[in-house]
Structure 1
Amino acid sequence: MGSDHARPAPSAPPRVRRILVMTVVPLFVATVIAALVLWPRGGSPQSDGEADVPRYSGTVTRVVMEPCPPSPSSPEGTPRVGDGRCGTVDVRVDDGPSAGQQVETPVPDGPGAPRVEVGDEVILVELTDPTDPTISNWNVAEHQRGTPMLWLAVVFAAAIVAFGRWRGLAALAGLAASFAILLTFVLPGIGAGKSPLLVAVVGAALIMFVVLYLTHGVTAQTSVAVLGTLGSLVLTGVLATIATAATHLTGFGSEEATTLSMFQGDVDLHGLLLAGIIIGSLGVLDDVTVTQAATVTELAHANPGLTRLQLYRAATRVGRAHIASTVNTIVLAYAGASLPLLLLLTADSRPIGQILTSEFLAQEIVRSAVATLGLIAAVPLTTGLAALVTAAGRTDTTSPADAAAPRPRTDRAETLAALISPRTGHPDESDPTRPSPPSTAADRWPEPNRSTDTTW
């Protein structure tokens, strides 16, 4: 593996570094202090001991299928449960107190029941008779998925590192940091009864600081992306609060939320809905803000004569194309996660207006619309900040004589000619006997392997 930086890029001017440090560092300190204040204490809530069913690993050694006994007649219209699979399954227990023993279980049947064959690695549950603890029954709960998921994770990590090299390795570290913050702060904090919206905003800001600087380095370009992401996150939270209040969403828009309210009644489901919008928007916001900051930097290196306004307009055109494709990505991502719900709604006999305004579907529409509005706001915000920082850095590093000298108006034509015409020494396509003139504009383009990340 090698670094993707061919040579060190020039550092940002001292004035730009001071401004960025004075802006970013207080925000980071405030995020850390808020995380410490909101950090859950006292451990996770204890679950009911009756719900703790022992689970052991096992290997299927034999499957015996038998015809199902006749069932009593059911009323017409009763939904069918299972596919009528009957028989027994012999399983060798691989761990626990009964390791090495052969146990007999019924063939799994019912909605979502696993189909087992000889040699399958499965998860067993042992159910004990409460009236007689010496009597226990074994059942196959599901397949073991640890080995295939481990190989998938290895291939996933190897592909990222092989393509991204050191930056890919940093991306994996950032992914691990994101999951660590979610599992140790965001989820326990919401489960402990803290405000879901406040916990989500602080957790998203903490993820943003760690992931962006870890993945892209401590650079002026990354700091611009951080500021743009943080501003867009705050705006997304405000818009989500207004939209959910205006549409009177309660947060009971899914079966999971209803089940959660039964086990943890102190969780604010409306706030949990807002928290989901914030966390879900963070990943796409990072993509947009980093892209816009990098685009402005590339344009400034390609044409140092561009003004702040020209940099802003050119990068905004790129942002429009990016947003146009990202909007479709967001909608399809939410639709893909809600396919069972959408399929269920297609069988609904109510008018389409009532279906669209129902709690289940309105929640997804509000989620998609608010996330898109936050993305749209991220483009001009990040692009404007990047243009200010990049132009300030270019002005400070340019000599007064170069800054005062206007760019010739023929540079644009020369640049276009350099891109269209062949290299020096190659004959002209229209006249093979006449060599093409040397391009003066091509010499001013930066090296193709040069990194445009402006370090602090």
Structure 2
Amino acid sequence: MSRHRGHSGRRQGHGHGHGHGHGQATPALAIRTTSRTALLAGLAVALVATLVGLVVWWPPGDTVQRSAEAGGPAAQFAAPGVTFPTGTIVKVGPRCAGSGQPDGAGCSTLTVTVEGKHAADGPIQVQVPPEVIDSGLAKGDQVELLRTPAPPEAGAGAAASYSYFATERTGTLTWLAIFFVVVVLVIARWRGLFSLLGLAFGGALVWWWMLPALLNGAPGVGVALTSAAAIMFVVLYTTHGFSLRTSTALAGTLLGIVLTAGFGVLAIGDAHLTGISDEGGAVLSTFGALDFQALLGCALVIAGLGVLNDVTITQASAVWELRAVSPHASRAQVFASAMRIGRDHIASTIYTIVFAYVGTALILLMLLRVYDRPLLELLSTEQLAEEVVRTLVTSIGLVLAVPVTTALAALIAAPVVPDDSVAASAI
């Protein structure tokens, strides 16, 4: 059915209403008052619940400080008096492994001049792992050092000791971030700007609210649902504008988040996952009585946010466009057409989830590959089982969110009929 006929259909007893998402017009559609009220009321309840969660689990400002006083990770990271000065490399020693030189003969070392207030310590030599040499460090590059002052019993003239801590990468990360922002703004323009603002809000919420709340002992799944909902409320409306289409996508996203959390809790408990699969988890376990299974559930929810948002906004937009060109089609017809789009999107997005995991866990997979054990037996290891559960649970939430969002959108965007209860609107 042509777009011209769609507009003529809307002229049969219905007024025009237009919503705008940062410069992009949303087609005016026949929206039943009951459906619109139910959708917005549901989102209002979700918003109130999100705000309540933010307040109830608001972490105290001294969460990390209390960890240090209790001897937790904040206290163990660095001893009193230890500092992290920056130094410039003046000489790179040859790699020990395969260099023909024994350890301790100047191989796999960096000669560094210390900068800042400790510059008087003069050039110092620090041992580094062979892989640091292999990374391509050269004269003039900067590294971060760990400086440990001499103990009091060594006397006033005793020299401090230095060790390698990290390679200074701020310059690379800065130009890469600037290039990313420029590319997004040039290609996506205003939509890209608003997406960057939403991303900044999400990052700030995770760092300053979600992580401290988890460290403070708040329930992992509750914090995950609250964080995810808060991020989605801001990100979706900021990026796509205030409209019923965006609200429908938001409702589908929230339902997908709840489904992901539910299946995640069920799978974690049934698989008896501990939530501690690496050294970081072991260190964090010294913090206090943290529920690592709940933390894993939180990770599952957060991991699925991006792809969930992607498919729900696509499905809502697909229904809106289909309804615009076929205003008299039944809800079932629009749903079926949109689901054909959704199935293609599901297939491509699942590939994204799986291969994203393969890329981030490549070293672990290589290590497991060299073990002389069948793959099915290796799936029971904590590290691999955790990632398999993460991938499958987020994929299940993604797949279920597609028909849920499509059905909601088809229900909201009603066919045009001569009925006084229908209002042509995109708000």
- Report which stretch shifted further, 303-312 or 7-16: 7-16
1:120 aligns with 2:120: no
Q: Relative to structure 1, is the Cα distance of residues 282 and 90 closer, same or farther in structure 2, using a 3 angstrom cutoff?
A: closer
- Structure 1 CA distance, aligned partners of 2:261 and 2:289? 22
For residue 407 of structure 1, what is the aligned residue in structure 2?
none
Residue 297 of structure 2 corresponds to which residue in structure 1? 274
Instruction: State the superposition RMSD in angstroms.
Output: 2.8
Change (3 A) 1:378 1:152: same
d(CA) in 1 for partners of 2:242, 2:282: 43
2 CA distance for matches of 1:7 and 1:206? 26
- Report how many residues are paired: 386
> Which residue pairs with 1:5 in the alignment?
23
Runs of 5+ unmatched residues, structure 2: 1-20, 69-73
Residue in structure 2 matched with residue 170 of structure 1 by the alignment: 194
User: SS of the counterpart of 2:159?
Assistant: strand
- State the distance in 2 between where 1:311 and 1:146 align: 50
Alignment of 1:189-268 (within 5 A): 189-261=213-285, 263-268=286-291
Percent identity over the alignment is 35
Partner of residue 362 from structure 1, selected from 351, 369, 385: 385
Counting only pairs closer than 5 Å after superposition, residues 371-390 of structure 1 correspond to structure 2 as: 371-390=394-413
Of 105, 123, 127, the match for 2:125: 105
Distance 1:245 1:292, change over 3 A: same
What is the SS of the residue equivalent to 1:253? coil
Shift of 1:17: 4.4
Q: Shift of the alpha carbon at 1:11? A: 7.8
| Cα distance between partner residues in 2 of 1:311 and 1:38 | 42
The answer to whether the 8 Å contact 1:167/1:215 transfers is: yes
Match of 1:290 among 292, 313, 319: 313
C-alpha contact 1:84 1:109 (8 A) present in aligned 2: no
The CA distance in 2 between the partners of 1:13 and 1:206, in whole Å, is 27
Query: TM-score normalised to the size of structure 2?
Result: 0.82
Counterpart position of 1:160: 184
Distance in 2 (alpha carbons) for counterparts of 1:98 and 1:207: 43
After superposition, the C-alpha distances for 1:181-224 in whole angstroms (9 at most, x for unaligned) are 10011111111111111111111111111111111111100100
The equivalences for 1:311-350 within 5 A come to 311-350=334-373
**Residue 326 (structure 2) aligns with:** 303
What are the residue-to-residue correspondences of 1:17-28 with 2, within 5 Å?
17-28=36-47
Q: Deviations over 1:96-135 (max 9, x none)?
A: x224764222353455566532111221221223242642
1:29 — aligned with what? 48
**CA positional deviation for 1:455:** 4.2
Asked if the contact 1:224/1:293 (under 8 Å) is kept, the reply is: yes
| SS across alignment from 2:297 | helix
2:107 to 85, 88, 100: 85
Q: Which residue is equivalent to 2:85?
A: 56
Q: Residues 30-84 of structure 1, C-alpha deviation per residue, up to 9 Å, x if partnerless?
A: 111111101111423222277153112222234466988746xxxxxxxxxx998
The answer to whether the Cα contact below 8 Å between 1:12 and 1:220 also exists between their aligned partners in 2 is no
CA distance in 2: counterparts of 1:357 and 1:122, whole angstroms: 40
* Maintained 8 Å contact 2:339/2:406: yes
Cα deviation for residue 4 of structure 1 reads 6.6
| Partner SS state of residue 51, structure 1 | coil
AA matched with 1:276: A
Secondary structure of the residue that 2:413 maps to in structure 1? helix
| Pair 1:211–1:105, CA change in 2 (3 A) | same
| C-alpha deviation, 1:357, in angstroms | 2.1
Offset at 1:8?
7.0
Measured in 1, the distance between the counterparts of 2:349 and 2:78 equals 43
- The one-letter amino acid of 1:106's match is V
| Higher CA-based Rg | 1
Shift of residue 383 of structure 1?
A: 0.2
Is the 1:85–1:109 Cα contact (8 Å) retained in structure 2?
A: no
Deviations 1:269-320 (A, max 9, x none): 1111111111001111100100000000111112222211100000011111
- Residue 159 of structure 2 is aligned to residue 145 of structure 1: no
Structure 1 unmatched runs, 5+: 72-81, 404-453
TM-score (norm 1): 0.77
Alpha-carbon spacing, 1:202–1:330, altered in 2? closer, same or farther (3 Å):
same
- Deviation string, structure 1 residues 335-371 (Cα, Å, up to 9, x no partner): 2221122111112223333212222222121111111
Report the CA distance shift for 1:374/1:57 in structure 2 as closer, same or farther (over 3 A): same
